[in-house]
Amino acid sequence: MELIYLYTMPLRQPKRMQKEENLYISEEDRIHLESLPETVRERILYERHLKKTEDNEKRELKHRTNRLIEEETESESEEDIVQKRDKIRSFKQSRPVSFDMFKCTVLCRNTFVSNMYKRTFKLLNGYYVKIRLEEGYHIYRISKIYEGKRYEIDGKVTNYWMQLERTGDKKEVNIQSISNKAITKSEYSKYINENTVPGGDKSLQQMHNKLIKSLESRMSEAEQDYSLGQMRRFSKDQRIAAKRRVELKVRLEKAKSENNLEEVDEIEKELHELAEPSEACGA
């Protein structure tokens, strides 16, 4: 019943606009972001929200830790000191994180494969994934999504890679490494006992709502064009690749004439990829 509630609740939260106001650095920053496509602007603001939440919790943890340490005196017994330090550790998970809420933000491999050609793909940054290591399955948080070497998965070619993090460890993986298996309660317990989940259930609920909005909403015409362009970009059919090169060269000349340096860089990068031998598309 809880999951159904999450799907039916309004996407716009009270005071959302007021919260967004706090995420702009300056008036110039606001003007710049409002000139960007909505999906890009939302991704930037959402990443700022996560960072702000995490920084606030770190400051709160540091403040509480310092206060408890200052309260220790020479007259306290060793048992009292141990109890206080156990209390300090408990502050690391100061906001409740339920299994039902957390599992909604742990994404499976199929989610990435089915959305890899959409403009909203990079909005998956900040969510969680399950990967298999030698000692078993572990949960990691996606801290960065970036473009790297091409590889093939489920008949599709992509160049998306991810930087994953958990306490004391970082991994660089591609989509092939992500598990399709659902998270278990023991994996959930291990993760939240060793890692801080910024904002607790409240933040996870916002992440879940944002995920539903991003992946299930109807694509605009511009988003459809972007998705089609990505399919052509990574197509293994050389005829489609050749047609894509012609389109890119026309766009490149237009971007140069408009002095759009950012678009020039993107187009030149894709032209370089399409010029690579077909063997580069191997896994």
Among the residue ranges 5-14, 19-28, 129-138, 204-213, the one predicted with the least confidence is: 5-14
- 87-144 pLDDT, tens digit per residue, is 555 544 456 889 999 999 999 999 999 999 998 898 999 999 999 998 899 999 999 9
Max CA separation in the chain (angstroms): 81
pLDDT for residue 10: 41
Q: Any idea which architecture 99-216 has in CATH?
A: Alpha-Beta Complex (3.90)
User: Domain ranges in the chain?
Assistant: 2-93, 99-216, 235-281
Among the listed residues 179, 130, 177, the one whose alpha carbon sits nearest the alpha carbon of residue 151: 177
HEC-encoded secondary structure of the chain = CHHHHHHHCCCCCCCHHHHHHCCCCCHHHHHHHHCCCHHHHHHHHHHHHHHHHHHHHHHHHHHHHHHHHHHCCCCCCHHHHHHHHHHHHHHHHCCCCCHHHHHHHEECHHHHHHHCCCHHHHHHCCCEEEEEECCEEEEEEEEEEEEEEEEEECCEEEEEEEEEEECCEEEEEEHHHECCCCCCHHHHHHHHHHCCCCCHHHHHHHHHHHHHHHHHCCCCHHHHHHHHHHHHHCCCCHHHHHHHHHHHHHHHHHHHHCCCHHHHHHHHHHHHHHHCCHHHHCC
Torsion sign over Cα 95, 98, 102, 104 = negative
Q: Distance (Å, rounded) from C-alpha 175 to C-alpha 154?
A: 10
**Res 276 pLDDT > 60:** no
Does the predicted TM-score (pTM) go above 0.75? no
Q: Distance (Å, rounded) from C-alpha 230 to C-alpha 158?
A: 9
Q: Distance (Å, rounded) from C-alpha 55 to C-alpha 23?
A: 13
- 145-174 pLDDT, tens digit per residue, is 999 999 999 989 999 999 999 999 999 999
pLDDT for residue 163: 97
